[in-house]
Amino acid sequence: MVHWPFKVVNYIGKPKILVEYKNETKLFTPEEISSMILIKLKDMAETYLGKKITDAVITVPVSFNHSQWEATKNAGVIAGLNVLRILSETTAVAIAYTLDKNVSGERNVCVFDLGAGTFNVSIVIIEEGILDVKSVAGDTHLGGIDFDNQMVAHFVQEFKRKHNKDLLHNERAIRRLRSACESAKHTLSTSFQASIELESLHEGIDFYSTITRTCFEEMNAHLFRLILDLSLHPDEAVAYGAAIQAAILTGDKSEKITDTLLLDVVPFSLGIETTGGVMTALLKRNTTLPTKQTKTFTIKSYTQSNNIVTELVICDEPIPTKETKTATTSSDKQVSVDIKIFEGEHSLTRYNHLLDSFTLSGISLTSPTMPQIDITFDFNANGILVVSAVDKTSRQENKITVTNDKERLSKYEIEYMIADAEKLRREDETQDERILAKNSLEEYCLHVKATINDKQMTDKIDNYDMKKMIFAIEDTMEWLETNHFAVKEELEQKLKKIKGICSPILEKFR
């Protein structure tokens, strides 16, 4: 984060990005920043297609957890989109590969995606149009920017060694150095050496240096070990695959996609906490989606400080006799049990990610046998996880759609952000209209100026009209110089005024 050109602050336990907007300090959530990018992409697509866009398939790194999926969906909602599906980037590439290469027979495909900021790998079996994702893995903190960071750190140290001055507190210098490092990295793809040349980088000091490919590989040796050949355009493959999936979800009947079926997987194991804080997985990592799994648990109940404490135990695990006796001889007592849902690969829940929790109440301890609780995880292809629990004796039931309320945005926050995004969009539209009006005024002035500088025209226009137009142009250009923030209406009024002076004169000689 030390090299980022913006600040991240802790705001009531949540990360927010601090930016300067219209001479004001504003805080934005990651979802709002993502929504701004989506709004821009939406506007670009609408301009290109010439029609309104409402539905979208959004791709994310394979290593995104459930909370990050939810945050991405929220960003889509804030951007005014109906999110049809959240799709992992490597899965999208696999879809693109299937159609682009016209795959026939069974293929085992490894999708390797090293992007600007993330690294993702998927293993996919492709057969007769069916894409069965068998395994996914990735790192959300590894990408091309990490190679840039290594180079920046290298040259910051070199500058300090040569000039005894620290660049790290000069944000502009770091931005310039980063840009130069990125260019040098590109050069090293085809050359054995690249140069860094930056005039007046810091306190008037010019900085010139070189880096060899060997040096670059050594400083990044811990980040990469091999290079894979590319078979699809790396900048287009993910978007291509997402577009195909969107076409499938919206009922497109094109022959090339009607026989394509995608079977994605769960990126992390999902389960509940059982006695001793143990993570008991119901959905193992890389389980094919959609999926529905049920396991039966019993209750371990004991008294602690005059309160009955209940914990879940897998039915095939032995329960100590003392606790069993306490549970089965408690007359007419009913208990409840908290069901905590976790995501992660560690055997203990305290090292995993708590997604959500709910309570199943009304469990009777009067039965001669221990109560049995059926817990079901139902995870659909859209990334929606529903967890339900049923007491097999009393038929008491409760269920929850996992949302991770502690981390996700509330309905009120989302509605506020939608309104704020719409306000920013209107401000952008107003700014675009203002710029168009300003450009129109400048272009007209330059056109008239070029016309009256043409010798053939100057011979035709009398001296009075010529002075009249020259004065109008100079007056308007001077006004533009001193009114940088003039609104659209003022600019249009100025254009109307100068046209009223110049156009009748020019029309006489057309």
**pLDDT of amino acid 226:** 39
pLDDT at 308: 61
Other Cβ atoms closer than 10 A to 362: 13
Angle, helices 89-100/237-249, rounded to nearest 10 degrees: 80
Topology of the domain covering 144-219: Actin; Chain A, domain 4 (3.90.640)
CA distance 274 to 276: 6
CATH number of 270-401: 2.60.34.10
Report the pLDDT value the prediction gives residue 510, as an integer from 0 to 100: 65
CA 455 to chain centre: 58
Half-sphere exposure for 336 (CA within 13 Å, toward CB): 10
The span from the CA of 449 to the CA of 446, in Å, is 5
Q: Could you tell me which residues are beta bridge partners of residue 335?
A: 363
Helix (H) or strand (E) holding 123: strand 119-127
What number of other Cβ atoms are within 10 A of residue 233's Cβ? 11
Contacts of 49 (CB under 8 A, 6+ apart): none
Give the model confidence (pLDDT) of 150-159 as tens digits: 899 999 999 9
The CATH code belonging to domain 412-507 is 1.20.1270.10
Percent composition of the chain: helix, strand, coil (DSSP 3-state, to 5): 40, 30, 30
pLDDT at res. 38: 93
pTM: 0.53
Which amino acid belongs to residue 18?
L
On whether the CB atoms of residues 418 and 396 are closer than 8 A, the answer is no
CA distance 472 to 501: 8
Q: What is the pLDDT of residue 318?
A: 42
- Please name the amino acid found at residue 59: T
Altogether, the residues listed in the chain come to a count of 510
- Residue 259 burial (CB count, 10 A): 10
Residues 387 and 402: beta-carbon distance below 8 Å: yes
Delimit the domains of the chain by residue range.
7-142+228-263, 144-219, 270-401, 412-507
Show the low-confidence residues of the chain (pLDDT under 50).
226-230, 317-332
CATH number given to 7-142+228-263: 3.30.420.40
